[in-house]
Chains A and B, each alone.
Chain A
Amino acid sequence: MYKYIQIIGFISLFLSCDHSKKLTKTEGENISISKALKSNPAIEAVIAPYKANLDKSMNEVLSYAVNTYSKRDGDYNTAIGNLMADAVFELSNPIFKSRTGYELDMVLLNHGGIRSILPKGNVTTKSAYSLMPFENSVVVVALKGSVLMEMTAYLKAFKRAHPISGLELVLNADNSYQKIRVNGKAIDPTKTYYVATNDYLYNGGDRMYFLKKSDTLYDLNYKIRNVLIDYFTKYDTLNPKKDQRFIKLNN
């Protein structure tokens, strides 16, 4: 009996050499990839031809940014978000009007869709790719005023600086509405409003499901990034501002 158990003991002993290691200590650190590290030349050599080809297209100077603009510079609206929404409004509206005879009422984009800062200094084609790397394009939906109210409820609930243009939304400190205006007027629940957005949001991105409550979809086949490139080409100086279009009062 004892002998048998002893044999088991031996087997356990051998197993323990391979399998019974015990986790005793854990250490962690997140190391900054800084200038102090040298670059691996083999990696650089592989990147070089890809980079040379890209740089030809990317380095054209289109405009000049007066300051550095970040989507973090504001709670409910930001200078960079306002620039993007205003650019979409300004450059999409003539196309939409020429195709349909209607005018845009407003623009709604998403805060998460601003993918970089716009640094102070020269603005290049690459800046537009950094801000908007995605291939999303401008679509226009026709929404009833009642659906627009669902949009304002969404904006109020999410408390994010989703870029808007044409809509004015002022919240009281208790989160009730102080003011809702489209083109300076109160929303008429029965009227149809034309809202420019992007196909990502229309297809359910950021759960903006109210955008699907449109009987018609107008795809302008105009990439948001190309809107930015055209806007930067049109204006030689960029100086966007945070303003009063979407704010919460301290009352």
Chain B
Amino acid sequence: MKRRKFIQKTAASTAFISLSGLGLTSCTQSTATKITILHTNDVHSHIEAFGPNEGRNANKGGVARRASLVETLRNENPNTLLLDAGDIFQGTPYFNFYGGELEFKLMSMLKYDVATIGNHDFDNGINGLYAQLPHAKFDFISANYDFTNTVMDTHVKPYKTFVKDGIKIGVFGLGIELQGLVNKAAYKETVYLDPIEIAQDMSRILKTEEACDLIICLSHLGYEYKKAPSKISDIKLAKATQDIDLIIGGHTHTFLDKPTVETNAVGKSVLVNQVGCYGLYLGKIDFYFDAKKLKAIESDTQRV
């Protein structure tokens, strides 16, 4: 045992020497990276901005304004993802008249990277959602809806990974229990699976198999249910799981001033964020990564 320990130490110091010997040429560009995550939820077909007489929402929102903000932020940092946490559909006559076509077209123009599915996205039935897919140039993810026996089969992935400036980002989707919320005739044979179990599977796959540096859960479970504390929510999910860095939520139309910091099952911090509804806000989370080379070598070598 003692001998092995000695070798590990030596290996670490050897590597240290090698590092200085090699020079920093192979690593110089990767000193620090900023990843920006932009997000919306529960936009509910709010294409236009609210008018001047619409109470507390007056003069807020609007996809055209969101587009210019997203463009500005992408110019500031090209390492940006734009995500939506569901309930894209239903809430203005745009949905009643056009069935979600314009919502998907505009989200495609804004270059959304991925979205998850909310309960109201079933409002024209699962066939109504499927019918609009040709207008969406972004992917849908849901890990806990099993669409096997529905028209959405193969059109929804459990997760998606992205690489931005050497940082691998894994995003998985979670949806709310549909029974009691959506007419069975609308969601048909969609099967709801336990979000905590699925989240644990997903974070393990994304962490170990996909080797992601950043793991994001795109959830339509709802922020927190104080009157029904046993009901699964983003806050409960954050506490019960591990390896998730950020939970982007929806459903409860919760307006947070800033992301909530929760402690996960292994004592690490998880961010939970949600931006209310109707496209009134855009969430923005910046993750800064530093290439901690020496530290990384030590831990890698110890595995040897």
Contact = CB atoms under 8 A, between A and B. Distances in A.
Contacts of B287: 23, 25-26
A26 B36 CA distance: 10
A216 B13 CA distance: 81
Contact of A70 (B55, B64, B66, B258): B55
Interface in B71-98: 71, 90-98
Contact of B285 (A24, A27, A38): A27
- Give the residue among B14, B95, B255 with the most A Cβ atoms within 10 A: B14
Contacts of B59: 34-35
B1 interface: no
A37 B60 contact: no
A191 interface: no
Interface stretch (B144-152, B217-225, B275-283): B275-283
A31 B292 contact: no
B301 A21 contact: no
A13 B18 contact: yes
Interface stretch (A52-60, A161-169, A239-247): A52-60
Contacts of B113: none
Nearest to A10: B18
Chain B interface bracket (under 10, 10 to 19, 20 to 34, 35 or more) = 35 or more
Interface string B173-187: 000000111011100
A119 B275 CA distance: 23
Interface residues of A, number: 69
A16 B291 CA distance: 8
A13 B295 CA distance: 10
Contacts of A15: 296, 300
Given A21-B292, A129-B92, A13 B15 contact: yes
A221 interface: no
A145 to B, nearest CB: 25
B97 A37 contact: no
A236 to B, nearest CB: 19
A87 to B, nearest CB: 19
Contact of A5 (B68, B92, B291, B304): B304
Interface in A36-60: 37-44, 46-47, 50-51, 53-54, 57-58
A22 B33 CA distance: 10
A23 B245 contact: yes
Contacts of B180: 204-207
A32 B183 contact: no
A12 B64 contact: no
Nearest to A209: B180
A92 to B, nearest CB: 20
Given A5-B14, A37-B66, 14 more contacts: A9-B301, A21-B30, A21-B289, A22-B289, A22-B290, A29-B284, A30-B273, A35-B49, A35-B59, A40-B71, A117-B55, A133-B44, A203-B184, A205-B183
Interface of B: 7, 10-12, 14-15, 18-19, 22, 26-27, 30, 32-33, 44-45, 47-49, 53-55, 59-69, 71, 90-98, 102, 105-106, 109-110, 123, 166-168, 179-181, 183-185, 211, 213-214, 227, 245, 255-259, 271, 273, 275, 279-293, 295-297, 300-301, 304
Interface of A: 1-2, 5-6, 8-10, 12-35, 37-44, 46-47, 50-51, 53-54, 57-58, 68, 70, 115, 117, 119-121, 126, 129-130, 133-135, 158-159, 199-200, 203-207
